[in-house]
Amino acid sequence: MRLIKFLLPILVIGAGVGLFRHFHATKVEPDPIQSRLRPPVVAAMTVQRQSLAPELTLFGRIEAPDNSVLSAGIAADVVEVTVREGNSVPAGDIVVRLDDADAALEILQRKASVAEIQAQIESDRRTYAADQEALEREQEMLALMQKAVARARALARTSAGTEAALEDMQRQEQQLLLAITQRRRSIDDHSTRRKLWKARLDNAEAALSRAEHDYARTSVRAPYSGRVIEVLVSPGVRVTPGTPLVRMYDHLSLEVRAQVPRRYVPLLRESINRGREIVATLENDRVETELMLDRLAAAVTQGQGGVDAFFHAGRRTLPALGSTVELALKLPSLDGVVAIPPDALYGDDRVYRIVEGRLESRTVTRLGLRRDADGRQQLLLDGSAFGEGDLLMVSRLPQAINGLAVETGAVDD
């Protein structure tokens, strides 16, 4: 019994070794050709440098440079608000009415002041004319009086007249001389009085114009055709000069502010300086709107990765103020550009050439996007990284690495 327990493990091991040798000797050897893995088949394209216009995708915001806060010009009560938020308002339409009673009374007072001064001016003019006429007669009377004094003096020397009569006539002569002097002074002062009254009239008329202007301010009007952003008052509110009433913007001034990567800024600035039109397309509610590049920002905010560009739509309709939009910006054509399908790009900056049946990676510089004649998206690369006629893999191959053997399938020219 002990012998059996001792020999049993040895017999099991021996049987196992024998079976292993049997199977090893009788196994069928596989075909060496069938055991070899076939390289993956990939699509390729022949590199061609072209002159193409890249397209950039930008994200922007609708803004309005002509964004106004209409405020009260006088102190008055709000009588009526004729608009609501979101309303479109033609230029010149009344948006808020203020109580005009006080302004109307002020106009009446100012008109009365003007009329009073005008009457004073007319009275002074008549006085001047009367003084001139009176001066002529007083001078004639003076001549007669001087003759009479001379006769009275001659009579007094011959005792035919009295000294009292002579003195009386001399007193009348002096009184007449004094009257003539005052008359001449009044006439000479006419020019000064006229300037004084003119100044007073100018002040009164200016006060009247100001009162009429204040009266006109009781009707607050839209300075341009636009849309109302916010109404800040309601009827019954007492406002003072400068109180905000309504916020609105000119819908024709709407523009899109979008940030352009810095590497494209010199190209855009040169195009603007040369008067070339740069077009961007905005799609909203399945409607495409063409925008024109108007200008570039003069300064860059700290931390920005690009420069703000401003696009205007002319009289075309844009989404609501403050909306975020996506733009397709078409840049000026560039020479020596290579267009590839998106699947040909690995990561952000790597493609694979096919050289003698093996992959060779290349680092590339992206210039933008475009769509071909069939509407398919293409990536545009700087062609200086390639040789003319290079074969480029355009398939998406997850295991793509340098040196990987591949078979070329369809080649796109």
Of the ranges 158-167, 182-191, 237-246, 404-413, which is most confident? 237-246
Tokens describing residue 404: 């990987």
Burial class of residue 96, CB neighbours in 10 A (0-12, 13-18, 19+): buried
Tell me the C-alpha distance between 55 and 329, whole Å. 5
User: Which among 248, 202, 259, 191 has a CA at the least distance from the CA of 225?
Assistant: 248
Tell me the C-alpha distance between 310 and 329, whole Å. 12
The CA angle 25-31-34, to the nearest 5 degrees, is 140
Which is more confidently placed, 6 or 63? 63
Give the pTM: 0.63
User: Which among 267, 280, 377 has a CA at the least distance from the CA of 327?
Assistant: 280
For range 76-84, the mean pLDDT: 96
- For the chain, the average pLDDT equals 86
Strands (E), 244-394: 244-250, 255-261, 279-284, 287-296, 306-312, 324-330, 334-340, 350-355, 358-363, 366-371, 377-382, 391-393
Q: Say what the pLDDT of residue 85 is.
A: 95
Number of neighbouring beta carbons within 10 Å of residue 249: 19
pLDDT of 301 above 90: no
Tell me the C-alpha distance between 197 and 337, whole Å. 82
pLDDT of 112 above 70: yes
Burial class of residue 297, CB neighbours in 10 A (0-12, 13-18, 19+): middle
Q: Say what the pLDDT of residue 18 is.
A: 57
Which residues, in sequence order, are CB contacts of 135 under 8 Å at separation 6+? 180, 183, 184, 187
Locus of tokens 């913007």: 249
State residue 81 phi and psi, 5-degree precision. -115, 120
Tokens describing residue 14: 């021996």
Query: Using one digit for the tens of pLDDT, what is the confidence trace for 154-165?
Result: 776 776 656 777
The number of C-alpha atoms within 13 Å of 315 and in the hemisphere containing its C-beta is: 1
Confidence class of residue 255 from pLDDT cuts 50, 70 and 90?
A: very high
One-letter amino acid for residue 136 of the chain: E
Tokens describing residue 389: 């006629």
Tell me the C-alpha distance between 256 and 319, whole Å. 10
The answer to whether the beta carbons of residues 233 and 79 sit under 8 Å apart is no
Number of neighbouring beta carbons within 10 Å of residue 293: 23
Confidence class of residue 30 from pLDDT cuts 50, 70 and 90?
A: very low
Q: Say what the pLDDT of residue 17 is.
A: 54
Confidence class of residue 237 from pLDDT cuts 50, 70 and 90?
A: very high
Tell me the C-alpha to C-alpha distance, in Å, between residue 100 and each of 77, 79, 104, 244, 318: 9, 9, 6, 18, 39
Taking each helix axis from N to C terminus, what angle separates 163-188 and 101-157, rounded to the nearest 10 degrees? 150
Query: Using one digit for the tens of pLDDT, what is the confidence trace for 193-228?
Result: 889 999 999 999 999 999 999 999 999 999 999 999
Query: Using one digit for the tens of pLDDT, what is the confidence trace for 118-127?
Result: 999 998 888 8
The answer to whether the beta carbons of residues 51 and 337 sit under 8 Å apart is yes
Q: Say what the pLDDT of residue 367 is.
A: 85
Q: Say what the pLDDT of residue 107 is.
A: 96
% the chain with pLDDT above 70: 89
Tell me the C-alpha distance between 244 and 296, whole Å. 32
Under DSSP, the state recorded for 264 is G
Burial class of residue 347, CB neighbours in 10 A (0-12, 13-18, 19+): exposed
Query: Using one digit for the tens of pLDDT, what is the confidence trace for 350-400?
Result: 999 999 999 999 999 988 888 888 878 899 999 988 888 899 999 999 899
Length of the chain: 413
